[in-house]
Amino acid sequence: MADTPSQPPSQPPILEATDLFKIYTMGNVEVNALRGVSLTVSPGEFVAVMGTSGSGKSTLMNILGCLDRPTRGTYHLVGREVSRLDRDDLADIRLQVLGFVFQSFNLLARTSALENVELPMIYAGVGGKERRLRAAKALERVGLAGRLDHTPNQLSGGQQQRVAIARAIVTEPRLILADEPTGNLDSRTSLEIMALFQELGRSGITIVLVTHEADIAAFTQRVILMRDGKIQSDRRQTPTDARAAVEAYEEAPE
């Protein structure tokens, strides 16, 4: 490990994973996807997890996202031990605490942006009127105020990812997990999405983002490098301003 980042002691960590192991059994072969990962993230941090494929970063994200449970180790999310909860309780945690952004957007086809954003609130039992109001607000926040009735195939990739981000933030989660959110986008759009994440980060939402592009990781405050199921390095950095990068991109001659 390189340098261990210091935490502001007054703030309890938003997530605290201790000595996580994940062992998959495939036939007779045991695959050690995680071999003792410990990680603490404070509220408001913008963290990038990097690593080659097979480094265990996806497994770590699945456990952090309460989609999977570790074989060994403990995981506290907003102070609650969640590594042994059952499927229903995990679903509740995901609903209340987490927001997900995926590489392939995962929007419902032939469904309007507004309705896509309403989706998590349906499972949270929010009434129809309030759902629409909050969904419209979330879409406004990601800069799609005029696109409420557009279906995914009427939107560009960047716009689709914005809808997905609106869907992630509409439940006011404490933590957003983004799995290669710029993987399917061109460089210009990637910068815009990163600028949006930075704005969300400034408003207090904690973001953990998986990427294998160093220039995307440069927009975050902290970069964790995974290798062979372990954390190889964990360093803090001063993030590059994505908004400025967008403007620079516009001025650059084609």
Partner 1 sequence: MNIFATLRIAVLALLRNKMRSFLTVLGIIIGVGAVIAMVAIGEGAKAEVQKTFDAMGTNMLVVRSGSSRTGGVRGGAGSQPTLTWDDVTAIRNEAGGVARVSPSLRQSAQILGDGQNWTSSVEGVATDYFAIRAWSLQHGGFFTEADVSSSAKVALLGGTVSDNLFGAGANAVGSVVRINNMPFEVVGVLARKGQSGMGQDSDDVVLIPVTTFASKIQGGLKKYLQGSIYVGATSSADTSLAQRQVEALLRARHRVRDGADDDFTVNNLAEIASARQEGTETMTRLLAGIALVSLLVGGIGIMNIMLVSVTERTREIGLRMAIGAKPGDIRLQFVIEAVVLSVIGGAFGVGLGVGAAEYMASQYGWATLVQPQIVVISLGFSAVVGIGFGLYPAHKASGLDPIQALRFE
Pick left, alpha or beta for residue 244 (phi over 0 → left; psi -120 to 50 → alpha; otherwise beta).
alpha
Taking CB under 8 A as the criterion, the residue among 96, 187, 203, 233 binding partner 1 is 96
Taking CB under 8 A as the criterion, the residue among 24, 123, 187, 203 binding partner 1 is 123
Q: How far is CA 158 from CA 57, 105, 188, 219, in A?
A: 24, 10, 9, 17
The piece of 36-44, 114-122, 134-142, 185-193 that touches partner 1 (CB under 8 A) is 114-122
Q: How far is the CB of 137 from partner 1 (least distance, A)?
A: 18
**Cα(110)–Cα(134) distance, integer angstroms:** 21
Pick out residues in 14-73 that bind partner 1 (CB under 8 A): 62, 65, 67-68
Taking CB under 8 A as the criterion, the residue among 6, 29, 110, 238 binding partner 1 is 110
Taking CB under 8 A as the criterion, the residue among 3, 88, 250, 254 binding partner 1 is 88
The nearer residue to partner 1, 107 or 245, going by C-beta atoms, is 107
The piece of 97-105, 211-219, 222-230, 235-243 that touches partner 1 (CB under 8 A) is 97-105
Residue 75 as a binder of partner 1 (CB under 8 A): the answer is: no
**Cα(121)–Cα(14) distance, integer angstroms:** 23
Pairing of strands 175-179, 98-101: parallel
Residue 129 as a binder of partner 1 (CB under 8 A): the answer is: no
Q: What is the DSSP string of 70-89?
A: -SEEEEEETTEE-TT--HHH
> Cβ neighbours of residue 252 under 8 Å, at least 6 residues apart?
none
Taking CB under 8 A as the criterion, the residue among 108, 133, 244, 248 binding partner 1 is 108
Q: Within 10 A of 81 (CB to CB), how many other CB atoms are there?
A: 11
The piece of 9-17, 42-50, 84-92, 186-194 that touches partner 1 (CB under 8 A) is 84-92
Pick out residues in 135-174 that bind partner 1 (CB under 8 A): 167, 171
**Environment class of 204 (CB within 10 Å of its CB; exposed 0-12, middle 13-18, buried 19+):** exposed
The nearer residue to partner 1, 109 or 252, going by C-beta atoms, is 109
Taking CB under 8 A as the criterion, the residue among 26, 29, 109, 252 binding partner 1 is 109
* Tokens read off for 214: 């160093």
Residue 219 as a binder of partner 1 (CB under 8 A): the answer is: no
**Cα(52)–Cα(211) distance, integer angstroms:** 9
Residue 153 is classified by DSSP as: G
Q: How far is the CB of 108 from partner 1 (least distance, A)?
A: 6
The radius of gyration computed from the CA coordinates of the chain, to the nearest angstrom, equals 18
Residues binding partner 1 (CB under 8 A): 62, 65, 67-68, 87-88, 91-92, 94-96, 99-100, 102, 106, 108-111, 115, 119-120, 122-125, 128, 167, 171
